[in-house]
A and B are shown apart, each in its own frame.
Chain A
């Protein structure tokens, strides 16, 4: 028996006060699979992503990433750190470290968390900056970068971690329209490497192109899921149909 791979989420629950945001969410993601989550706003999509690395602490359920399994109800500080070190996160508002240059944003965790030498971390960061088209911005601080450039650094920071699962929380929603294309292009390149990705987005065309599977969430539940052709062209649930009529 080989050690388990991929991601398994079972019976995940999260409430904010009286509002039950995630209701018994169960989901498996195969290694290299690219999963896109869609659904109306306020439906728990972001909370699902943020629960997976405990930015929002889930109330119950288990999260397994590879051979690391964490029981949400009794997760210790060590469990949470271990989970965060197997995942990476791209934020809607970039969330770059404002006191660090583009290169330092990428090397920060490589050095402090992964224990790489500064030279190794810099080499990795420079390779990523070339890949993201930001080689000339290595020494720029976030305040001097456009929204699109900042988000590409944000994605580069997440790429550098070589995580088992990359989480994208509406990565283009805060961008001016002119910068959306370059960020989606970069995400396509990440997807081409068969990186395991879980993406919340409203970019339907993009979802159709890169997703192996699309999940429709509503009211804290996974309502329906399937390959893009099936879910987008032939939705079964009335809620999915109603949502797709509004957004496509």
Chain B
């Protein structure tokens, strides 16, 4: 086994770091959309809105039941063939769309579980003081559900950051794609992929650091 080419690895760092913003952009936008969609679906699942409930359950079943890569190929290569308005979709948009729909299915279930976990008597207390269902959800139930769901949701966000690497398969030159190109030029695959692995790892660790602060904040009502 030959020694690692540290000089080459060091030279890759600034090149690959310049792709980090695109990775974070896809993950952050995907997460923002997924949170909104998942919360809406979770609330629907709690109240079981007639008719709509069937669609939401089908949606969750499909997007949890099929691989993310298959979904991305469906959106990028498949849908434009049957839906003309999708023909202009680019790889970044298709990736964001895939990440949003895929992860919202998982997140809906964990948010739903967190909502159901809020003590039943607090629902009743909110109703008893005359709050509407919307006021009760926004001000009493969802803030407490957020605290319970937060660790799981951060986990999904971590998964989503790593999931952006699949954009490479849609021809997007993002972090993974750029690494592949660099490696193909230098033939130093081990070094290149080691560097990109470290970059993903550091991003996730930075997030885990933020998660600890988030949890302290969300737990302030429960400190004794």
Contact = CB atoms under 8 A, between A and B. Distances in A.
A109 B121 contact: no
Contact of B125 (A81, A87, A95, A141): A95
A123 interface: no
Contacts of A88: 128-129
Interface stretch (B93-101, B103-111, B139-147): B139-147
A127 B198 CA distance: 58
A91 B129 contact: no
Contacts of B213: none
A108 interface: yes
A19 interface: no
A123 B115 CA distance: 32
Interface string A65-98: 0000000000000000100110111010111111
B144 A99 contact: yes
B125 A91 contact: yes
Among A99, A113, A141, A143, the most chain B Cβ lie within 10 Å of the Cβ of: A99
Given A95-B121, A99-B143, A55 B221 contact: no
B140 A97 contact: yes
A87 B224 CA distance: 32
Contacts of A112: 131, 135, 139
Nearest to A141: B221
B130 A109 contact: yes
A81 B119 contact: no
B130 A99 contact: no
Contacts of A53: 127-128
14 contacts: A53-B127, A54-B127, A81-B132, A84-B127, A84-B129, A85-B130, A93-B121, A94-B121, A95-B125, A112-B135, A142-B221, A143-B221, A144-B224, A161-B129
